[in-house]
Amino acid sequence: FWGVVLLAVLLALGTFLWVFTQTSAPLIAESNQAPPNIASDPALREAWKIEQTLRAELEQRLIQLAEQRARCPLPVDTESASATPMVVAPKDGDVATTVATDDSPRLQAGEGLAESAGDSTSASRSHTAEVTGTERLSPVEPMSQDKAQPTPDPVAPLARTLEEELEGSRAVVSAPGVAGAAGTAGAADASTSQSPVELTVQADPTPEERQEFTNRLSATGAAIGEITATLLWNGNADLDLVVLCPSGEMLDYQNPHECGGTLDVDANTARDSLSDRPVENVFWPAGQALPGTYRIIVRYAPRKDEQQPQSTSFQVRLIRNNQEKVFKGMAKPRKASPVTNFTVER
């Protein structure tokens, strides 16, 4: 019996040794195979050249990237802060890598990538993904308190109306005026509303209108100067021809001599001297107009006896440098209508 058992054990050991020798020999032979001969295969040789070119280009790019990072200074807040490690998420089977947000570890990582670029194409792709992830996960510069809370813009002052501007110009001049007329003007300015101002338009006068200017000026004895501004309208409303001088002073019925000009004709100021064909005139003798910009304005300040003042159409003629310009507009009660500007240069 024991002999049979011993024979079975020996047979099992022999079988095991035979199987082991048969399976290990091919593995050893396979591991000792020589690398493929690249020179014998043109396709492999071409692929090898392309791989070497790509590796060299990748290495050059990584070196340039490291140099650019060295030239770019970090923000002040980032320099004072300690380096915070960040984990780059794995992508396409790459191993997750911990990278620091400090600038020097980035440069070291770039140099390491450049040195190991020639190992394999897959390793190069992995390093490139790590660099891209590092740039993508770079910490954002915290917003300072000044940026988070911008300073509000200063509130712009409210624009003054033309009537308020005329009232301000009135305080500049000190020439005495007629008490009744001054009181009427003050009441007109006090009752000024905020409705839109009617703008005037430039228009070519008809021969009849041009002749009407000449007739009314001749009837009142108005003078003509180097610069002449004439206002005419129909009816007994009290319209005023006003000129704002470059100095800020106001040339009108209360101050008929300002900035080298003269208001020589004023109409419908009193109840006992009303006209249905009124005219007002301002002129500057040759060389008397001060340099600067002048503003011509028509103001409608109703008298106390005007029970129901109505809007009144008017025309203003400006003669300067032997050139004639006529402007037409509508004057509203207790309103000032801008007509035109002109500039004198000496």
Residue whose structure tokens are 């070519």: 204
**Single-letter residue type at 183:** G
Both tokens of residue 44?
């492999």
- Show the CA angle centred on residue 342, arms to residues 340 and 345, nearest 5°: 175
Map residue 269 onto helix, strand or coil. coil
Both tokens of residue 219?
């009837």
Q: In the predicted model, what is the mean pLDDT of the chain?
A: 72
Q: How far is CA 223 from CA 138, 163, 219, 227, 339, in A?
A: 82, 28, 11, 10, 21
**Single-letter residue type at 159:** A
Q: What is the pTM of this model?
A: 0.48
pLDDT at 71: 79
Beta bridge partners of 232: 279, 315
Which has the higher per-residue pLDDT, 124 or 290? 290
Both tokens of residue 15?
């079988």
pLDDT tier at 284, thresholds 50, 70, 90: very high
Per-residue pLDDT at 242 exceeds 50: yes
pLDDT, tens digit (0-9, with 9 covering 90-100), for 19-31: 767 655 555 455 4
Both tokens of residue 107?
């440069």
- Answer for the pair 223, 288: CB distance below 8 angstroms, yes or no: no
Pairing of strands 227-233, 279-284: antiparallel
CB contact set of 245 (below 8 Å; sequence gap of 6+): 251, 258, 259, 261, 290, 292, 294
Q: What is the mean pLDDT of residues 93-118?
A: 42
pLDDT, tens digit (0-9, with 9 covering 90-100), for 166-215: 666 554 433 333 333 333 334 334 343 444 455 789 999 999 999 999 99
Per-residue pLDDT at 220 exceeds 60: yes
Per-residue pLDDT at 48 exceeds 80: yes
CB contact set of 318 (below 8 Å; sequence gap of 6+): 227, 228, 229, 296, 324, 325, 326, 327, 340, 342
**Single-letter residue type at 131:** V
